[in-house]
């Protein structure tokens, strides 16, 4: 069947009109179901007295023989009566449209829909009434609220109602959330009756009625740099302890996540890819929960020294972890402090203070790396001082340098063992059991006095620094390794630093102006001498060599000599988690958030009474435009020789281009009349 031409012409107005009528007749009424006031037949927001009066009139009709109401209708009336006569439930329903006991109504309707209304067990809300026990704590008023958001720490707020059984059930979870966020974010509560506060946190429909999309309780957070009541962030997920804590730590505070690894990925993905200079901190969890906020905060604060990872404990893998790391059970934490170092294992759970103490003890490798941010701390910088203090005149730094690889790892382990041997000599001398030789005791004494430091250097990254001390070009231990380069042998050397008190006194007198003071900041303060080790890789031999260097350096008079040392290259130029992971939104109205929540906001448009009239008006406008265009008179083409009707609209013809040889215009003769004849001249030369 062919579609009529008029229908094809007016398809858009017809479609818009049908959509407008369907929206007004079907969609809009369904979006506004009858209220509990409608069940009682009274006006909305009627007082309690009017509710009681309407209920008494309706209840008298139930016993009459002419009663036409079904059991379900009677249940709706009774439920509306009990809800609207409760002050707190009526307040929540009138202000925010909240019906905390809707599940009770549906359950009773299903249970008694085929029974007589006299068999209904009344009251309906006897088990779901307002709880008499006040479980709230740290409830904010408007004055305390303004003071709380001005504090340094972020603030997490739970909006609750005394009449909500869901809020009462969530309170235990809320206590766990607060305990996990100690030191990271503060927590507080706001009761729904404080309209001045809850008005900030509620969303608004097109009818300007405030509402809570996901009901109560609802959670909102104020970041640390937020000082405006309307710049909060609304929690969008499920109300689970782990989910809420993770959202606060990640989106509000901006802490890094600690990832989980399996036994197959822990080695190549975590240990192999994290920094060579960092301590590996591995947590074993039997629950699979995300890292506690204080652990994530430690991962951020100690990111220069340590890398963090989580492993899910499985019983069938317990033997693997015991053989490799010495872990017996979960929860536990393991510290790997460098190649060859024995893993340090702690079993059990830890509080924030306990873990801070353990982390402070084990956050450094046993043989630390010489880097830009550790050179002054280690006493291996000519512009600084020794670890013994500013009064120390001579100190030493033992360095093993090389390209990262097997050779450097082996040398690092040997140098760490040499350091441990000297530490044992220090402990032996303290206890009185001195068995070591006089030569070795010189190194042990220097290590005890913090005048001796053992470090390792990445010669590939710090190539200029490495080449300066070894007096060589970029090969061997220093510089980038080329393809097929087998000359990756590491180098062991010691640097002697000596301060010159006379030179420092003269420099202090010269810095009388700002320019001289700024120039003095970049000068080398200590004299440096370098000695390279050429002996075998044996611990005793290395310690004897170090001790001999220290003995000679402390007793001999060496000329004071300084030179410009190349600066160390920063090895960590950025940290991924320092990028802001939070976006502060003004009451949740940003464009980004609306796009993200478009699936939810689309339902709000179904309650907009302007949609139907707008569709009908668009249909009328489109119909008028189509009718106007279709009824315009058509313009006919003028006949040849006929003058145009509108001379003003006549288009001037474009002149033709000349085609003559020299560009002269060609003249076309006038047409010859039918009665024309040739005129002969009398003085013609023709015969």
| Residue 253 to residue 156: CA distance in whole angstroms | 11
Q: What pLDDT, on a 0 to 100 scale, did the predictor assign at position 440?
A: 61
What value does the mean pLDDT of the chain take? 82
pLDDT above 80 (res 171): yes
Checking if the pLDDT of 76 tops 70, the result is: yes
pLDDT winner (highest mean) among 378-392, 428-442, 623-637 = 378-392
State the CB neighbour count (10 A cutoff) for residue 214: 14
Burial of 75 (0-12, 13-18, 19+ CB in 10 A): buried
Q: What is the pLDDT of residue 572?
A: 66
- Determine the pLDDT at residue 583: 38
Interatomic CA distance for residues 413 and 500, integer angstroms: 35
Query: What is the tens place of the pLDDT at every residue in 545-570?
Result: 999 999 999 998 887 777 888 999 98
Angle at 346 between CA 343 and CA 352, to 5 degrees: 125
Task: Tell me the chain's radius of gyration from C-alpha atoms.
Answer: 44
The C-alpha atoms of residue 445 and residue 105 are separated, in whole angstroms, by: 83
Segment 195-218 shows an average pLDDT of 88
* Choice among 142-151, 184-193, 241-250 with the minimum mean pLDDT: 142-151
- Residue % of the chain over a pLDDT of 90: 52
Q: What's the rounded mean pLDDT across residues 27-48?
A: 88
- In angstroms, the first-to-last Cα distance of the chain is 88
Lowest mean pLDDT among 348-352, 391-395, 627-631: 627-631
For 31-119, which CATH class? Answer: mainly alpha
Coil, helix or strand for 102? Answer: helix
Angle between helices 352-362 and 293-301 (to 10 degrees): 30
Residue 662: which pLDDT band, with cuts at 50, 70 and 90? very low
**Parts of the chain belonging to CATH 3.40.30.10:** 142-252, 260-362
For 60, the enclosing helix (H) or strand (E) is helix 48-62
* pLDDT tops 50 at residue 655: yes
Q: Output the CATH code of domain 260-362.
A: 3.40.30.10
- Summarize pLDDT for 466-501 with one digit per residue, the tens: 999 998 877 788 988 764 455 678 999 999 999 876
- pLDDT tens-digit series, residues 416-440: 999 999 988 888 766 655 554 445 6
Domain with CATH 1.10.287.110 in the chain: 31-119
Query: What b/e string do you get for 131-146 counting C-beta neighbours within 10 Å, with b at 16 or more?
Result: eeeeeeeeebeeeebe
Assigned fold of 372-506+523-555: Glutaredoxin (3.40.30)
Average pLDDT, stretch 589-610? 56
Per-residue pLDDT averaged across 431-457, rounded? 78
- Residue 163's CB is within 10 A of a number of other CB atoms, namely 27
Query: By the 8 A CB rule, do 454 and 442 touch?
Result: no
The DSSP element (H or E) to which 159 belongs, if any, is strand 155-160
Tell me the average pLDDT across 58-87. 89
What confidence tens digit (pLDDT) does each residue in 80-118 have? 999 999 999 999 999 999 999 999 999 999 999 888 888
75: helix, strand or coil = helix
What is the phi/psi pair of residue 139, to 5°? -85, 130
> Which of the four CATH numbers 3.30.470.20, 3.40.50.300, 3.50.50.60, 3.40.30.10 does domain 142-252 have?
3.40.30.10
Alpha-carbon distance of 194 to 182, in angstroms, equals: 26
Q: For residue 654, is the peptide bond before it cis, meaning its omega torsion is within 30 degrees of 0?
A: no
pLDDT at position 658: 47
């Amino acid at each position: 069947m062919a579609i009529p031409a008029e229908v094809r012409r007016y398809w858009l107005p017809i479609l818009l009109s049908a959509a407008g009528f369907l929206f007004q007749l079907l969609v809009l009424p369904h979006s506004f179901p009858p209220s509990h006031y409608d069940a009682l037949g009274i006006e909305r927001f009627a007082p309690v007295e009017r509710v009681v009066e309407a209920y008494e009139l309706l209840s008298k009709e139930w016993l009459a023989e002419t009663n036409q109401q079904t059991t379900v209708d009677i249940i709706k009336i009774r439920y509306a009566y009990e809800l609207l006569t409760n002050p707190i439930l009526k307040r929540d329903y009138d202000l925010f449209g909240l019906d905390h006991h809707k599940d009770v109504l549906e359950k009773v309707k299903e249970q008694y829909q085929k029974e007589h209304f006299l068999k209904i067990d009344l009251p309906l809300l006897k088990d779901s009434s307002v709880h008499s026990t006040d479980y709230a704590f740290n409830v904010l008023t408007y004055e305390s609220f303004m003071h709380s958001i001005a504090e340094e720490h972020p603030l997490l707020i739970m909006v609750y109602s005394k009449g909500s059984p869901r809020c009462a059930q969530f309170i235990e979870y809320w206590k766990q959330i607060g305990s996990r966020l100690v030191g990271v974010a503060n927590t507080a509560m706001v009761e729904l009756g404080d309209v001045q506060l809850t008005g900030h946190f509620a969303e608004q429909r097109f009818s300007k009625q405030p509402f809570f999309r996901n009901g109560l309780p609802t959670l909102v957070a104020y970041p640390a740099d937020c000082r405006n009541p309307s710049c909060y962030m609304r929690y969008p997920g499920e109300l689970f302890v782990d989910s809420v804590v993770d959202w606060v730590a990640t989106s509000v505070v901006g802490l890094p996540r600690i990832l989980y690894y399996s036994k197959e990925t822990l080695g190549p993905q975590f240990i192999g890819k994290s920094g060579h200079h960092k301590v590996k901190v591995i947590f074993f969890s039997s629950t699979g929960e995300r890292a506690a906020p204080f652990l994530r905060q430690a991962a951020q604060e100690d990111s220069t020294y340590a890398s963090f990872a989580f492993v899910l404990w499985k019983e069938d893998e317990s033997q693997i972890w015991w053989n490799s790391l010495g872990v017996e059970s979960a929860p536990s934490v393991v510290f790997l402090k460098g190649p060859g170092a024995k893993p340090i294992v702690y079993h059990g759970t830890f509080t924030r203070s306990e873990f801070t103490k353990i982390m402070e003890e084990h956050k450094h490798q046993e043989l630390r790396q010489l880097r830009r941010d550790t050179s002054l701390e280690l006493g291996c910088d000519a512009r600084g001082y020794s670890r013994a203090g500013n009064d120390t005149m001579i100190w030493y730094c033992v360095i093993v340098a090389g390209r990262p690889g097997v050779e450097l790892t082996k040398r690092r382990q040997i140098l760490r063992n040499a350091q441990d041997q000297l530490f044992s000599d220090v402990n032996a001398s303290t206890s009185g059991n001195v068995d070591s030789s006089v030569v070795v005791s010189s190194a042990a004494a220097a290590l005890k006095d913090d005048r001796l430091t053992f470090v390792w250097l990445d010669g590939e990254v710090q190539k200029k620094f490495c080449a300066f001390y070894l007096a060589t070009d970029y090969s061997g231990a220093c510089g980038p390794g080329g393809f097929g380069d087998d000359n990756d042998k590491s180098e062991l050397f010691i640097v002697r630093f000596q301060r010159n008190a006379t030179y420092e006194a003269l420099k202090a007198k010269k810095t009388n102006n700002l320019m001289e003071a700024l120039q003095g900041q970049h000068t080398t303060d200590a004299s440096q001498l370098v000695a390279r080790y050429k002996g075998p890789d044996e611990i005793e031999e290395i310690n004897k060599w170090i001790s001999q260097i220290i003995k000679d350096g402390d007793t001999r008079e060496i000329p004071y000599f300084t030179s410009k040392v190349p600066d160390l290259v920063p090895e960590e130029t950025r940290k991924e988690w320092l990028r802001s992971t939070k976006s502060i939104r003004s009451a949740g109205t940003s464009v980004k958030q609306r796009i993200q929540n478009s699936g939810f906001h689309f339902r709000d448009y179904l309650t907009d009474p302007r949609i139907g009239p707008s569709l009908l008006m668009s249909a009328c406008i489109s119909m008028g435009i189509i009718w106007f265009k279709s009824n315009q008179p058509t313009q006919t083409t003028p006949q040849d020789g006929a003058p145009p009707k509108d001379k003003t609209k006549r288009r001037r013809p474009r002149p033709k281009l000349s085609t003559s040889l020299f560009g002269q215009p060609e003249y076309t003769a006038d047409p010859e009349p039918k009665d024309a004849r040739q005129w002969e001249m009398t003085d013609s030369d023709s015969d």
